[in-house]
């Protein structure tokens, strides 16, 4: 070690439920929301790694924690697996440039959370609302005419990636933000 500072690791990240009858109706989507959000937070905290526990198991596994089902020798990824993997790909090489992280107080869980990252010459913003029934409008302020790429639906094998540049040059990229994190990369 010799005085070298090694960033810590998150070794057991998970989101589960106690039994199939106790899982909420949209459990797999909630698990995906958590997977995408917690990975972005791990990168923002400068963790060396973030490991999902357990990765693969036969249902029900350990309180449905796993994100890949093993059935008859075949692996079946859940939406949380794709959310975790897609977040990792989007944040590869990114550096958090925001303030100190805090869990929002109960009265703010319905507000848009934003984590800003820098990757190369681009700014990369991660948005989500911790708890909401309907998307919230968020206006990302950018230089007028900024070029941007949006990525959402991280819980899918291939996320939705599309141009969301400030075409009308008003300095705003409007977003409808829900519980599943989405990304906006503002290009240099």
Shared-domain flag, residues 54 and 130:
no
Shared-domain flag, residues 76 and 154:
no
Pick the more confident residue, 19 or 135: 135
Give me the number of domains the chain comprises.
Answer: 2
47: pLDDT confidence band, cut at 50, 70 and 90? confident
Among 91, 121, 152, the domain-final residue is 91
What pLDDT score was predicted for residue 51? 67
Q: Which domain holds residue 103?
A: 97-186
Shared-domain flag, residues 101 and 79:
no
- Please count the other Cβ atoms lying within 10 Å of the Cβ belonging to residue 41: 20
In angstroms, rounded to a whole number, what is the distance separating the alpha carbons of residues 92 and 48?
Answer: 12
DSSP one-letter string for 65-90: --SEEEETTEEEE-HHHHHHHHHHHH
Residue 172 has pLDDT above 70, yes or no: yes
Residue 2 falls inside a structural domain? no
Shared-domain flag, residues 78 and 102:
no
Among 35, 56, 91, the domain-final residue is 91
DSSP H or E stretch at residue 34: helix 27-44
Shared-domain flag, residues 161 and 115:
yes
Shared-domain flag, residues 76 and 119:
no
Shared-domain flag, residues 55 and 108:
no
Residue 79's closest CA among 29, 128, 20?
Answer: 29
Residue 3 falls inside a structural domain? no
Shared-domain flag, residues 74 and 106:
no
Pairing status of strand 95-96 against strand 136-141: unpaired
Which of 8-17, 19-28, 118-127 is modeled with the greatest confidence? 118-127
- Please count the other Cβ atoms lying within 10 Å of the Cβ belonging to residue 61: 16
Q: Are 181 and 40 in contact (CB under 8 A)?
A: yes
Shared-domain flag, residues 181 and 104:
yes
185: pLDDT confidence band, cut at 50, 70 and 90? very high
Shared-domain flag, residues 78 and 141:
no
Shared-domain flag, residues 129 and 87:
no
What pLDDT score was predicted for residue 34? 86
- Is the pTM higher than 0.75? The answer reads yes
Q: Which of 53-57, 97-101, 172-176 has the lowest mean pLDDT?
A: 53-57
Among 46, 67, 91, the domain-final residue is 91
Q: At a CB cut-off of 8 Å and minimum separation 6, what does 162 contact?
A: 149, 150
Residue 127's CATH number = 2.60.40
């Amino acid at each position: 070690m010799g005085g070298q500072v090694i960033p810590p690791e998150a070794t057991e990240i998970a989101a589960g439920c106690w039994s199939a009858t106790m899982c909420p109706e949209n459990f797999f989507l909630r698990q995906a929301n958590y997977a995408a959000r917690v990975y972005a937070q791990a990168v923002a905290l400068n963790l060396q790694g973030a490991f999902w526990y357990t990765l693969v198991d036969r249902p029900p596994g350990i309180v449905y924690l796993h994100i890949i089902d093993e059935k008859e020798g075949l692996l079946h990824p859940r939406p949380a697996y794709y959310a975790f993997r897609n977040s990792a790909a989007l944040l590869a090489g990114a550096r958090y440039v925001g303030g100190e992280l805090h869990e929002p107080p109960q009265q703010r869980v319905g507000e848009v959370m934003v984590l800003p990252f820098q990757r190369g010459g681009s700014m990369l913003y991660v948005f989500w609302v911790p708890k909401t029934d309907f998307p919230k409008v968020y206006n990302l302020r950018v230089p007028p005419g900024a070029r941007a790429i949006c990525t959402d639906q991280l819980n899918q094998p291939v996320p939705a990636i599309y141009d969301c540049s400030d075409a009308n040059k008003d300095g705003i990229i409007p977003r409808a933000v829900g519980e599943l994190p989405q990304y906006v990369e503002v290009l240099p």
